[in-house]
Chain A
Amino acid sequence: MFKSIRNAKIVAVFAVVGALVLPTTPASAAPVEITLSCFNDLNMGNLLKEWETVNPNIKVKLKTADFNAHHDGLLTQLIAGQGPDIACMEVGYTSRFKAYPQLFTNLGKTFKANTLEKSFINWRWEQGVARDGTIIGIPTDVGGLAMCYRQDLLKKAGLPNERKAVSDATSTQAKLTAFAEKYVAATGKPFLDNVSQLFEGVSRQGADGVQFYDKKTDKIVEVPQVKKAYDLAATFVSKKLSAEIAPWSSDWNQGMGNGAFAAMLCPSWLLANIQNNAKDIPGAWDVAQMPGGGANWGGSQLTIPKFAANPKQAWTFISWVLAPEQQLKLFLDKGVLPTTPAVYKDKKFLAAKDIAYNNAPIGKIFSDVVMSIKKPIYEGKYQVSVKDAYNAAVGRMASGKQTPAASWAQLMKEIKKIKSLS
Chain B
Amino acid sequence: MNLKLNALVKSKSSLRAGEGRLAFTAISPFYFLYLVFGIFPILYTSYMAFFAWDPLGEKVFIGLTNFTNLLQDEVLWKALRNTLSIWVLGTVPQLALALYLATILNRNRLRFSNFWRAAILIPNVTSVLAIAVIFSSLYGRDFGLINYVLNFFGVDKINWMEGTLTSHIEISSMIIWRWTGYNALIYLAAMQSIPKDLYESAALDGATGWQQFIYVTLPGIRNVMIFTITMSTIGGLQTFNEPYILGGVTGGNDKQFYTLAMFLYEEAFRKFQFGYGAAIGIFIFFCVVIFALINAFIASKIAKD
Contact = CB atoms under 8 A, between A and B. Distances in A.
Q: Do A and B bind each other?
A: yes
Interface of A: 1-2, 6, 68, 72, 75-76, 79, 100, 102-103, 243, 245, 249-251, 254-255, 260, 382, 384-385, 388, 391-393, 395-396, 399, 401-402, 418, 421-422
Given A2-B37, A102-B56, A401-B162, A385 B141 contact: no
Contact of B140 (A76, A250, A395, A421): A250
B249 interface: yes
Contacts of A68: 248-249
Nearest to B277: A1
A405 B140 CA distance: 29
B159 interface: yes
A32 B79 CA distance: 47
Contact of B269 (A72, A382, A388, A391): A72
Given A2-B37, A245-B141, A245-B142, A392 B270 contact: no
A401 B254 contact: yes
Contact of A385 (B136, B255, B271): B271
Interface in B51-95: 52, 54-56
A388 B250 CA distance: 7
Nearest to A6: B37
Contacts of B248: 68
B192 interface: no
Given A250-B137, A392-B250, A399-B253, A1 B268 contact: yes
Contacts of A395: 162, 253
B142 A260 contact: yes
Contact of B271 (A79, A251, A382, A393): A382
B270 A72 contact: yes
Given A399-B162, A421-B271, A250 B136 contact: yes
List the 8 shortest-distance A-B pairs measured between CB atoms, nearest first. A395-B253, A392-B253, A2-B41, A396-B253, A251-B142, A250-B137, A79-B55, A68-B249
Contact of A384 (B141, B252, B270): B270
26 contacts: A1-B269, A1-B277, A2-B37, A6-B37, A72-B249, A72-B265, A75-B269, A102-B56, A245-B142, A249-B140, A250-B140, A250-B143, A251-B142, A251-B143, A251-B144, A254-B142, A260-B142, A385-B270, A385-B271, A388-B250, A391-B250, A392-B252, A393-B253, A395-B253, A401-B162, A421-B273
A103 B142 CA distance: 44
Contacts of B55: 79
Contacts of A245: 141-142
Contacts of A75: 269, 272
A395 B248 CA distance: 13
A79 B53 CA distance: 13
Interface string B257-279: 00000000100111111000100
Contacts of B250: 388, 391-392
A245 B144 CA distance: 13
Contacts of B52: 422
Contacts of A392: 250, 252-255
B35 to A, nearest CB: 13
Contacts of B269: 1, 72, 75-76
A103 B37 CA distance: 25
Interface of B: 37, 41, 52, 54-56, 133, 136-137, 140-144, 159, 162, 248-250, 252-255, 265, 268-273, 277
A388 B141 CA distance: 22
**At the interface, is chain A mostly helix, strand, loop or mixed?**
helix
A68 B248 CA distance: 9
A17 to B, nearest CB: 16
Most chain A beta carbons < 10 A, residue from B37, B250, B253, B268: B253
A393 B273 CA distance: 23
A388 B133 CA distance: 22
Contacts of B37: 2, 6
Most chain A beta carbons < 10 A, residue from B52, B55, B268: B55
Given A245-B142, A392-B250, A401-B254, A103 B56 contact: yes
B139 to A, nearest CB: 9
A132 to B, nearest CB: 14
Contacts of A100: 56
B271 A254 contact: no
Nearest to A255: B142
A249 B136 contact: yes
Given A75-B269, A249-B136, 12 more contacts: A68-B249, A72-B249, A103-B56, A245-B141, A245-B142, A251-B143, A255-B142, A382-B271, A391-B250, A392-B255, A421-B271, A422-B54
A251 B162 contact: no
A217 to B, nearest CB: 20
Given A72-B269, A399-B162, A79 B56 contact: yes
A246 to B, nearest CB: 8
A39 to B, nearest CB: 13
Contacts of A418: 271
Contacts of B273: 421
A347 B249 CA distance: 44
